[in-house]
Amino acid sequence: MLQINKITKTYVTGDFKQTALDNVSLNFRESEFVAILGQSGSGKTTFLNVIGGLDQYDNGDLIINGKSTKHFKQSDWDAYRNNSVGFIFQSYNLIPHLSIIDNVEMGMTLSGVSISEKRKKALDVLEKVGLTKHLHKKPNQLSGGQMQRVAIARALANDPDIILADEPTGALDTETSEQIMQLIKEIAQDKLVVMVTHNPELATAYADRIVRFSDGKVVDDTNPLANQKIKDNYKLKKTSMSFLTALKLSGKNIITKKWRTAITAFASSIGIIGVALVLSLSNGFDKQINSFETGALSNYPITISQNAMSMDAFGPPKENANELTEFTKDKVVYPYDASKNSVTHKNVLTQEYMDYLDKIDSSWLDGVSYSRSVKMNLLKLSDGKATPLNTAAAGFSIYPSKADQSSNSYLEQYYDLLAGNFPTNKTDLVLVVDKYNQLEKNSLEALGFDGNSENIDFNNFIGHEFKMLMNDDYYVKSNNYYIVNGTTTDLSNLYNSEKATTLKISGIIRIKEDISISSLPAGIVYSDKLAEDFIENAKNSKIVLDQKQSDFSVMNGEVFVEESSTASNRMGAGGKTGQTKDSALAALGASSIPTGVALYPVNFEAKENITNYLDQWNSGLDEEKQIKYTDMASMITSLSGNIMDAITLVLIAFAAISLVVSMLMIGIIIYVSVLERTKEIGVLRALGARKKDITRVFNAETFIIGTCSGILGIAITYLLTIPVNAVLLNLTDLTNVAQLNPLHAFVLVVVSVILTMIGGLIPAKMAAKKDPVVALRSE
């Protein structure tokens, strides 16, 4: 059944050649008990390894059931060992971290036998060797004889045709040896058993046939078999280990080394912890910034004013941009055309555009406010005298409100009421103070309060009144010019006139603490409705109608300057800047078009909708006809976001270094594990495991360690966020800054697994390359 035909095997170590098998020819019967005797070094083990397919012969042929093995590939030999051969070793070679039953099942596990069948066969053979009581013990809990019985059961389990035993009783006492020999003899009744022994008595007592080896040659054979031609009827079932089996195998190995694994996993999780902490912090800061944005910055409006600053202002002049360098060493001055490099964009607001703005979805807005150049005719009363109120000096501005003017949602949402009430009608004014309840001295004086006093009680402001007069009541025409209708030192007649509208300060407000940035300047804020009413009336006032007809000022006869010259005169020497006709008319209230609009979005999403809406107007328009807006909040945010991103990147880079270090460490740990498990590798190979399977076993080990360290790292990070947040709360008043995003956590575990597997790849490959014969010889 097994024919060995002129086989030679030579080992080469350096220059030294050792012929272990020298032209050996032997034929074996289907069932017989062959004992091989010979001196140490005569080639007995080599012979067993060659016929067992563990080692490959150099020349000759090995024929199994008529099939020549000359052209066997590695995978054929693997399958051959698994299907056809069972090995029994002197030192048992059981896998120490697997139970008895798992050891016996291993060969069948490798060839993919179903769990139930495997269990049944394993129990059968264990019963045959008399070990049914010890199924779940580990090998080191058994005696030598028992261990050898397990090894025999393992060799028999897959029901091979050939059993190869290398000095199976070499480590046993006489009595146990005899029991084992008896067992092997029984096996030999329906199998070919080839046993190497150094004990001639046992050989003669139990074996059917004795073959003597000397110097790699067969020198004696008590029952030779003639060579005969056998028909090839050999079939191989290829083996393959599933990743699950590899996981189970490595899992059991890892469990026996719990502490080392735990420490390794912990050490390599430090990199993960680093990255996870950085991510959770940056994630938290991002969230903080977002909530700051939606809190503090969302009350910051999108503004459209006559002169919109364009960001190009910060770059070099466009036309020369490519040729000029910053901080050049050139000793020349470069002229450039400022108009081509428009620093500011002139927005020409038209009624059409205002109508377009009115159609904006009001649900996106907390409110809209306007800047107007109209000078309403306001009077204040101080020291019993009525005088004009300089609204510019007093810091008058229009507060944001909804288009329907129905609610004070904006003021109430972002401002605390310190005294009085929020405005309820258009004649109600509101005093805005800064965070420290301050108001500028000049503003106070302009309002008629004592700017030099140490402090002024809120009560002095609440209910304080001013008067507003329409143009026709305020101005009278005298000698072709319009003058204020009264003596310049006292306008009590106007102040007390029935026609005067009474305005009063209804409340004092201050920005809310958690918002902290006020979009309204300190001073008086009033309703746009008041301005609109004034303008509505002013449009048809005599002074406006007259002014429209006239090319000089109807108030002082001054000649107007051209529109364009005001721009260049703005910083002109001498201070005498002229007025244009348009600006004179606007000041008198002739125009209902504001000079600026501020849109207050409800949130960041709404802001996006608003800017899209504004962009829509511009699409297709010439550059100079476009209306540009300024979004200060987004400039701030994108800046802060970029800085955060940069910091995060740097920190992650540092943490990544520790990840790489832990990867190297895993490599070393796995390498040590490979060294430790060399014997196991040999056993697995002897049982028919392919190189691939060995790689798989170690990949499974790194997979387990990587998963453990990833999960451990994430768990530790979650725990660490508690003290980190406590410290940050103490330092910065920010709550819950460190927050690990679950997605990041998951990705990090995956990264940990991948990195450790990469780290273990080389040692795993090394393990697979190990020669099974050498591996089995190792101690």
Binding residues (CB under 6 A) for ligand ADP: these are 11, 13, 18, 20, 38, 40-46
Closest CA to 3 of 236, 215, 162: 162
Minimum CB distance to Mg ion, residue 769 (Å): 24
Minimum CB distance to ligand ADP, residue 18 (Å): 5
Out of ligand ADP, Mg ion, none, what residue 41 binds, judged by CB under 5 to 8 A for its kind, is ligand ADP
Minimum CB distance to Mg ion, residue 22 (Å): 16
Q: Residue 44 or 744: which CB sits closer to Mg ion?
A: 44
Q: Which of residues 12-51 bind Mg ion (CB under 5 A)?
A: 45
Provide DSSP, 170-235: TTS-HHHHHHHHHHHHHHTTSSEEEEE-S-HHHHHHH-SEEEEEETTEEEEESS------------
Rounded to whole angstroms, the Cα distance separating 92 from 188 reads: 19
Neighbours of 225 (CB within 10 A): 15
673 binds Mg ion (CB under 5 A): no
Neighbours of 716 (CB within 10 A): 17
Residue owning tokens 């809120």: 458
**CB hemisphere CA count around 763 (13 angstroms):** 27
Out of ligand ADP, Mg ion, none, what residue 519 binds, judged by CB under 5 to 8 A for its kind, is none
Minimum CB distance to Mg ion, residue 45 (Å): 3
Torsion over CA: 86, 96, 237, 762 (sign): negative
391 binds Mg ion (CB under 5 A): no
Out of ligand ADP, Mg ion, none, what residue 460 binds, judged by CB under 5 to 8 A for its kind, is none
Minimum CB distance to ligand ADP, residue 38 (Å): 6
Q: Residue 37 or 714: which CB sits closer to ligand ADP?
A: 37
Which 3 state secondary structure label does DSSP give 668? helix
Q: Residue 203 or 745: which CB sits closer to ligand ADP?
A: 203
Rounded to whole angstroms, the Cα distance separating 534 from 288 reads: 44
Out of ligand ADP, Mg ion, none, what residue 710 binds, judged by CB under 5 to 8 A for its kind, is none
Q: Residue 43 or 596: which CB sits closer to ligand ADP?
A: 43
Q: What angle do CA 674, 680, 681 make, to 5 degrees?
A: 65
Out of Mg ion, ligand ADP, none, what residue 38 binds, judged by CB under 5 to 8 A for its kind, is ligand ADP
Q: Residue 42 or 146: which CB sits closer to ligand ADP?
A: 42
Could you tell me whether strands 630-631 and 302-305 are parallel, antiparallel, or unpaired per DSSP bridges? antiparallel
Q: Residue 89 or 482: which CB sits closer to Mg ion?
A: 89
Burial class (CB in 10 A: 0-12, 13-18, 19+), 465: middle
Residue 117, token pair as written in the block: 């069948």
Out of ligand ADP, Mg ion, none, what residue 11 binds, judged by CB under 5 to 8 A for its kind, is ligand ADP
Out of Mg ion, ligand ADP, none, what residue 18 binds, judged by CB under 5 to 8 A for its kind, is ligand ADP
Q: Residue 43 or 760: which CB sits closer to ligand ADP?
A: 43
Torsion over CA: 628, 634, 640, 645 (sign): negative
90 binds Mg ion (CB under 5 A): no
Number of H helices and number of E strands within the chain? 25, 26
* Cβ contact 470:541 at 8 Å: yes
Q: Where are the beta strands (DSSP E) in 324-437?
A: 344-346, 365-371, 377-382, 385-388, 396-398, 415-420, 428-433
Out of Mg ion, ligand ADP, none, what residue 149 binds, judged by CB under 5 to 8 A for its kind, is none
Minimum CB distance to ligand ADP, residue 221 (Å): 16
Minimum CB distance to ligand ADP, residue 21 (Å): 8
Q: Residue 46 or 485: which CB sits closer to ligand ADP?
A: 46
Minimum CB distance to ligand ADP, residue 199 (Å): 14
Q: What angle do CA 548, 550, 556 make, to 5 degrees?
A: 110
Q: Residue 164 or 525: which CB sits closer to Mg ion?
A: 164
Minimum CB distance to ligand ADP, residue 649 (Å): 54
93 binds Mg ion (CB under 5 A): no
Q: Residue 24 or 704: which CB sits closer to ligand ADP?
A: 24
Out of ligand ADP, Mg ion, none, what residue 633 binds, judged by CB under 5 to 8 A for its kind, is none
Torsion over CA: 344, 345, 351, 357 (sign): negative
Out of ligand ADP, Mg ion, none, what residue 83 binds, judged by CB under 5 to 8 A for its kind, is none
Out of ligand ADP, Mg ion, none, what residue 380 binds, judged by CB under 5 to 8 A for its kind, is none
Minimum CB distance to ligand ADP, residue 24 (Å): 11
Out of Mg ion, ligand ADP, none, what residue 118 binds, judged by CB under 5 to 8 A for its kind, is none
Nearest residue to Mg ion by CB is: 45
Q: Residue 119 or 217: which CB sits closer to ligand ADP?
A: 217
Q: Residue 43 or 271: which CB sits closer to ligand ADP?
A: 43
Residue owning tokens 């020291």: 383
Rounded to whole angstroms, the Cα distance separating 435 from 412 reads: 16
Size of the site for Mg ion (CB under 5 A): 1
Cα 131 to Cα 98, 148, 152, 195, 504: the distances in Å are 16, 11, 11, 22, 105
Minimum CB distance to ligand ADP, residue 224 (Å): 20
Minimum CB distance to ligand ADP, residue 713 (Å): 44
Q: Where are the beta strands (DSSP E) in 614-757?
A: 630-631
Out of ligand ADP, Mg ion, none, what residue 20 binds, judged by CB under 5 to 8 A for its kind, is ligand ADP
Minimum CB distance to Mg ion, residue 25 (Å): 20
Rounded to whole angstroms, the Cα distance separating 84 from 80 reads: 5
Q: Residue 47 or 466: which CB sits closer to Mg ion?
A: 47
Rounded to whole angstroms, the Cα distance separating 336 from 265 reads: 65
Contact residues: Mg ion, CB under 5 A? 45
